[in-house]
């Protein structure tokens, strides 16, 4: 499962403030969820394509 790079851990960003930590965590969670969904969709598409080819 792919994981998007963390914006918080990016070397060009200063450490998040306490106020910004929640927003950064939410943004990271959203990015990770989107990356996971894209990877899952790609894997499912590949599996479906292989199954269709085998059925043909």
Asked whether residue 13 carries a pLDDT value surpassing 70, the answer given is no
Tell whether the model's pLDDT for residue 5 goes beyond 60.
no
pLDDT greater than 70 at residue 56: yes
Q: What local confidence, expressed as pLDDT, does residue 22 receive? A: 79
Rounded to the nearest 5 degrees, what angle is found at the Cα of 33, between the Cα atoms of 11 and 21?
45
Q: How far apart are the first and last CA of the chain?
A: 29
């Amino acid at each position: 499962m792919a994981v998007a790079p963390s914006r918080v851990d990016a070397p060009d960003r200063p450490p998040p403030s306490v106020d910004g930590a929640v927003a950064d965590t939410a943004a990271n969670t959203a990015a990770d969820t989107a990356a996971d969904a894209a990877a899952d969709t790609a894997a499912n598409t590949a599996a479906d394509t292989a199954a269709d080819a085998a059925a043909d």
